[in-house]
Amino acid sequence: MLEALKKARLATAAIVVIAVLLALVPLYVSDYIMSVFILLFANIALATAWSFFSGATRYISLATAAFFGIGIYVLAVVHVYVPVWVALIAAAVIGFLVALVIGLSTLRLRGVYFVVFTFGLTELIHQVLNWWEIKINRTVSRYIFTDVSNVSIYETLLFVALLTIVGSWFVSQMRLGYALRAIGEDETVARHAGINTTRVKVICFALSASVMALVGAVLALRYPYVDASIAFNSTWSFQVLIAALLGGGGRAWGPAIGAIPLVLLSEFLAGTFPHHFSIALGLCFVVIVYFLPGGITRLILRLHHSWQTRHRRDHAGAH
Amino acid sequence: MAEHFFSVRSLRKAFGGLVAVRDVSFDIPKGSIMGLIGPNGSGKTTVLNLITAELTPDSGSVLFEGKEIIGLQSFQVCRSKIARTFQLVRVLPYMTTRENVMLGRMFGSEPVSPSQAAHDADHLLARVGMAGKANMFASQLTYIDQKRIELARALATHPQLLLLDEWLAGLNPIELRVGIDLIHQIRREGVTIVMIEHVMEAIRALCDRCVVLNAGGKIAEGTPQSVLSDPEVMHAYLGIDDAAA
């Protein structure tokens, strides 16, 4: 018990130190480095939010781009009328509500049906919005006029990313977190152990979606204009899924650990091989998945475990 | 008329043209052990699935302390103090033994916080003889140990009625002895038990009454002694020729 308390204190201290250091980064780096960090935090928040629901329950969602895009569009439409912070909150709330409705109607689908449905959903929203904009609003894109600085965007996304990780850890320690994992392992058993599986799934799906919409809205502040193809780009769904898998599940910090190399690698490859970027990235993933099937988290935990065992053995040998 | 503790009334379920459960009725007095027996495919597990809302009956009702439970969802059945185990043992493989049991405590009829549930889970694990294995993953356990944590998980929900689906199947003679004692002990604490079972030794040792199903219908009911010597039951189990011999 004492050890757990000590560990919790250490973790809190570490998070605070990392947060403060990262918050100071904009003072010292170029605009380019800062934009890489912005992309990094966005991916960390998305991957953590994705893993919070899909990693735990194993309902693999490809709807990340749908909620991300909803956030972008809510901001684009609403920011003209209200302060930016209100627009951001509106994005999160609308993302939550849309996911609630979608969740209620679709979370009875399992396995590949759910995957395909969520993928189709993104495309459906994309096309409907496109049609609406062209036919009803007689426009193809929307301009975004704000005076939000890159530093503010950086700090906001840093906050969102940290909040998502800490929140995700927090929930994992609650009854809700256990319920999520139980659903992922055997939904029938979960039901018969007294878990209201439908409610747990819908609430967590919506929580996860609200983070995705919020990230989309914050990133949209950087865009001069958006259209449906920019907002609802499925690449986001896949990239987030890959980051989460690369990081590995089971720990709240896992997806973040996966997002870091993914974003850096993408940046490096896009700069170095602009024409063969996708091929190079794909090859890297094949290699990574082949050698690290459990993700980086598993590797770290294994190294930590073997270090502990050796440590203990050496200690025992000294007596 | 006196209200029964638990009553199944004209329960019926068909899968297409196959009637899996044909108008089955029985009552269980509080604190007793009832055996649900019959040859393979006679509808025993289907009855359990209908009671726990894993399946929806075509007609009939199930009254628990006078209240209709058909129409509730599985999690609500569990919270109204009816717990079950599964015929093919079902544990959560990548959760630890302790976490498996904690689930029942956290979401059952008297939910508590995770830390309290962990504490209570350790007591239950000790009770089913799993004290030293709390931190092992359920997937690392032997078949018997998995059955034990399944029972502990069911008990953690604080049931008044416990439904065991062949919980004693596959145990060796020594384990069977331990298992029978454990079920005895659970009953002594006031839990009413329905057990689907093929192990005759266990049925004789434990059951106050038995209901015998064949091809979805009830063909006999009474003490283990009486139903096991019933000619129709012998026919159902052994076939006409063997029964006559």
Q: What is the pLDDT of residue A296?
A: 80
Q: What is the pLDDT of residue A279?
A: 83
Closest residue, chain A, to B82 (C-alpha): A192
Q: Whole-prediction pTM value?
A: 0.90
Q: What is the pLDDT of residue A93?
A: 98
- Predicted confidence band of residue B1 (pLDDT cuts 50, 70, 90): very low
Q: What is the pLDDT of residue B229?
A: 87
Q: What is the pLDDT of residue B244?
A: 52
Q: Side chain identity at B51, as an amino acid letter?
A: I
Residue A69 token pair:
């895009």
Average pLDDT value for residue range B27-31:
94
ipTM over 0.95: no
Q: Side chain identity at A102, as an amino acid letter?
A: I
Phi and psi at A248, nearest 5°, equal: 95, 155
Q: CA–CA separation, A297 vs A303, rounded Å? A: 10
Could you tell me if A268 lies within 8 Å of chain B, comparing CB atoms? no
Phi and psi at B17, nearest 5°, equal: -85, -10
Q: What is the pLDDT of residue B245?
A: 47
Average pLDDT value for residue range A179-206:
95
Phi and psi at B62, nearest 5°, equal: -130, 120
Residue of B155, B38, B28 lying closest to B101 (CA atoms): B155
The superfamily in CATH containing domain B1-72+162-167+194-245 is: P-loop containing nucleotide triphosphate hydrolases (3.40.50.300)
In chain B, residues with a C-beta closer than 8 Å to the C-beta of A197 are 75
DSSP code string of chain A? -HHHHHHHHHHHHHHHHHHHHHHHGGGTS-HHHHHHHHHHHHHHHHHHHHIIIIIHH------HHHHHHHHHHHHHHHTTTS-HHHHHHHHHHHHHHHHHHHHHHHTT--HHHHHHHHHHHHHHHHHHHHHIIIIIS--SEEE------HHHHHHHHHHHHHHHHHHHHHHHTSHHHHHHHHHHH-HHHHHHTT--HHHHHHHHHHHHHHHHHHHHHHHHTT-SEEEHHHHT-THHHHHHHHHHHHH-SSSTTHHHHHHHHHHHHHHHHHHH-TTSHHHHHHHHHHHHHHH-TTHHHHHHHHHHHHHHHHHHHHHHHH-
Could you tell me if B118 lies within 8 Å of chain A, comparing CB atoms? no
Residue of A203, A225, A206, A202 lying closest to A214 (CA atoms): A206
Residue B62 token pair:
């199930």
Contact check, Cβ <8 Å, B104/A194: yes
Gyration radius from chain B CA atoms:
18
Residue of A250, A191, A235 lying closest to A52 (CA atoms): A250
3-state secondary structure of B232: helix
Most confident of A141-155, A271-285, A303-317: A141-155
Label residues A262-291 b or e (16+ Cβ within 10 Å = b): bbebbeebeeeeeeeeeebbeebeeebeee
In chain A, residues with a C-beta closer than 8 Å to the C-beta of B114 are 173-175, 178
Contact check, Cβ <8 Å, B107/A175: yes
Domain ranges of chain A: 2-318
Shortest Cα–Cα distance, B104 to chain A (Å) = 5
Could you tell me if A183 lies within 8 Å of chain B, comparing CB atoms? no
Domain ranges of chain B: 1-72+162-167+194-245
Could you tell me if B159 lies within 8 Å of chain A, comparing CB atoms? no
Contact check, Cβ <8 Å, A181/B54: no
Is pLDDT of B39 > 50?
yes
Q: What is the mean pLDDT of chain A?
A: 90
Gyration radius from chain A CA atoms:
21
Contact check, Cβ <8 Å, A175/B78: no
B103 closest CB neighbour out of A173, A174, A178: A178
Percent over 70 (pLDDT), chain B = 96
Average pLDDT value for residue range B44-67:
95
Average pLDDT value for residue range A164-175:
94
Contact A87, A79 (CB under 8 A): yes
Could you tell me if A192 lies within 8 Å of chain B, comparing CB atoms? yes
- Specify whether domain A2-318 bears CATH 1.20.1510: no
A185 closest CB neighbour out of B77, B94, B106: B94
Average pLDDT value for residue range B100-115:
94
Which of A205-219, A237-251, B69-83, B120-134 is the least confident region? A237-251
Residue labelled with tokens 């799906």: A205
Is pLDDT of B242 > 70?
no
Q: Is B143 exposed, middle or buried (0-12, 13-18, 19+ CB in 10 A)?
A: exposed
Q: What is the mean pLDDT of chain B?
A: 92
